[in-house]
Amino acid sequence: MPFPSLESFLNHYNNEEICSSFLFQLKWPLGFCCSECNHGRAYAVTTRRLPLFECASCKHQHSLTKGTAMENSRTPLRKWFIAIYLFASSEDGVSAINLSHTIQVTYKTAWLMLHKLRDALDQAECDPLLNGIVRVQGGAYGSPFNPYTEKDPQRHPLLAGGSVHDTGEVDVLRLRIIDPQHVQPNGYISHDGEQEFIKDAVSLTAAEVKSVRFRLHRSCFRPLVRCIAEFSSWANLTFHGLGRKYLQAYANEFTFRYNSRQQRQPLLARIFQICSNQLTPTTLRSLTQKYRIS
């Protein structure tokens, strides 16, 4: 899908039927296939707001939105499509307040829609594992560089990991917000905290892994320090600052954008693809559990 202007996107996806048939194609690109019996034909049951597809063989009824980011949502598909467009089209993403104004939904609905998109990216495990020459750098989000504010409650320690290119550029980036229990009084991130991150984010085939756990250390990895600074400015400019609770979800959105840019991947088509199949429904409760702070 080439990147259309907002106007042409709105003109094309101008009613629920067009949005449903596009979602149908994304969900069943090779034509309908019953997940219960593999039969290839279905009848559309059109008495609902969104059509159901009843398998012609076993009669199982398939919801169009089941397994998609839109599952269990009462928001019209067209509004979802506009949200996906805005999420993908702007290099910096979109805040819930801006989305709520644009598609005329409450702030709470817009907030949850954007978190469902972030969670879809997270479930699809879009960020590759770090490989090759890997560097890990301690840092923090939330307060300006100041060696005297180590205990600032608004400062959220994090680790940035990167696959580093020969030129020093970070090819693949991962960010991990660190649980406060893994931060020592002197500001160092604990060895356990670092190892947990490396276990999750670094490939077993990485050629070399070196890390600096303290953000102010003189031998810090400057390209990663820059990435942390970019993450901080992005969070402050796009969202006017973020609290600790869902910070990891935003960090994941940032690395998804960073890595997609590095790999020159077309965002709109990719996000539609990711949002259209094989997802576990995201709810406020599932988000709270996923990003629980200890």
User: What distance in Å separates the CA atoms of residue 54 and residue 61, rounded to the nearest whole number?
Assistant: 4
Please state the closest distance from residue 164 (CB atom) to Zn ion, in A: 50
Complex with Zn ion: residue 35 or 184, whichever CB lies closer: 35
Please state the closest distance from residue 55 (CB atom) to Zn ion, in A: 3
Please state the closest distance from residue 59 (CB atom) to Zn ion, in A: 7
Which stretches of the chain bind Zn ion, using CB under 5 A?
34, 36-37, 39, 55, 57-58, 60
User: What distance in Å separates the CA atoms of residue 13 and residue 64, rounded to the nearest whole number?
Assistant: 17
Complex with Zn ion: residue 39 or 66, whichever CB lies closer: 39
Alpha helices (H) in 135-244, listed in sequence order: 191-201, 222-239
Complex with Zn ion: residue 44 or 97, whichever CB lies closer: 44
User: What distance in Å separates the CA atoms of residue 78 and residue 80, rounded to the nearest whole number?
Assistant: 5
Complex with Zn ion: residue 25 or 38, whichever CB lies closer: 38
Please state the closest distance from residue 61 (CB atom) to Zn ion, in A: 10
Q: Which conformational region is residue 59 in: left (phi greater than 0), alpha (psi within -120 to 50 degrees), or beta?
A: left
Which residue in 268, 256, 208 sits closest to 231, CA to CA?
Answer: 256
Distances (CA, A) of 288 to 38, 119, 250: 36, 12, 14
Please state the closest distance from residue 41 (CB atom) to Zn ion, in A: 9
Any residues with CB less than 8 A from the CB of 222 and at least 6 apart, and which? 168
Alpha helices (H) in 222-266, listed in sequence order: 222-239, 247-262
Please state the closest distance from residue 281 (CB atom) to Zn ion, in A: 22
User: Which phi and psi (to 5°) does residue 21 adopt?
Assistant: -70, -30
Complex with Zn ion: residue 35 or 278, whichever CB lies closer: 35
Complex with Zn ion: residue 52 or 268, whichever CB lies closer: 52
